[in-house]
Amino acid sequence: MPIEEALSSTMLRDRPEVTWKYLWEIAEKCRTTLPNRCHEILTNWQKHTPNTWILTQNVDGLHTKAGSQKVIEIHGRAATLRCVHCPFHTDGNRFLHDERRYHSPHVPKCPDCGHVLRPDVVLFGEDLPRRALKALEQLAEDGVDLVMSIGTSSLFPYITAPMQLAHAAGIPTVEINLEETEATPFARHILRMPCTEALESLTNNANFILPNHADND
């Protein structure tokens, strides 16, 4: 079954056991994954430049775990569970991963009303969260000095949009990626190198020169 079908709002409604089969696997990965060096570097950047914002399509919450404060999670966060019927919500890690629940990949039910619980993330076929969109719109209205695309495939238009808008406005843009993406045409500077290596170089080397798009093959 395609992942787009299994993790869709329709499948969750009609066959929640199928959606939760995949959600349990995602929950385990999120539970055991820790922030990496890239997360730490971006957190340090925010400490030294408080107006730095992070837009992420990941749902693992690792930017927040690393200490970043200004994070727009455009696809939500898997660590929060909410009921599909009533206002109940809870810490998913605590609810799902105690010894009694974790080894039984069942469909978790709301303790208040008995309906299905779901992670507070955007499933296929659903709209983006309003709060995240408003934060992104406000950031665009306030204006930025630099936009960086770091290690993202840029498959979604709203992920590429900040690069595209900044490029059109003459604002410097940087892409850090080993491969060409949909954001590449809007990047003034391109670093074809691993994210950690690129961020370390930008952080530690004052003489590090960003290659212009026109000079980059």
CATH at 137 = 3.40.50.1220
pLDDT value, residue 216: 47
In a domain, 8, yes or no: no
pLDDT value, residue 104: 55
Active site residues: 75
pLDDT value, residue 149: 96
In a domain, 180, yes or no: yes
In a domain, 188, yes or no: yes
In a domain, 89, yes or no: no
In a domain, 98, yes or no: no
In a domain, 139, yes or no: yes
pLDDT value, residue 24: 84
Output the pTM of the full model.
0.85
In a domain, 84, yes or no: no
Q: Are 176 and 162 in contact (CB under 8 A)?
A: no
Domain total in the chain: 1
In a domain, 91, yes or no: no
For residues 27-60, one letter each, b for 16 or more C-beta atoms within 10 angstroms of the residue's C-beta and e for the rest, the string is beebeeeebeebbebbbbbbeeeeebbbbbbebb
Where the chain has pLDDT below 70, the residues are 96-105, 206-210, 214-217
Domain that holds residue 198: 35-75+128-215
pLDDT value, residue 99: 41
Percent of the chain exceeding pLDDT 90 equals 66
Q: In Å, what is the CA distance from 21 to each residue of 5, 18, 28, 29, 32?
A: 13, 5, 11, 13, 18
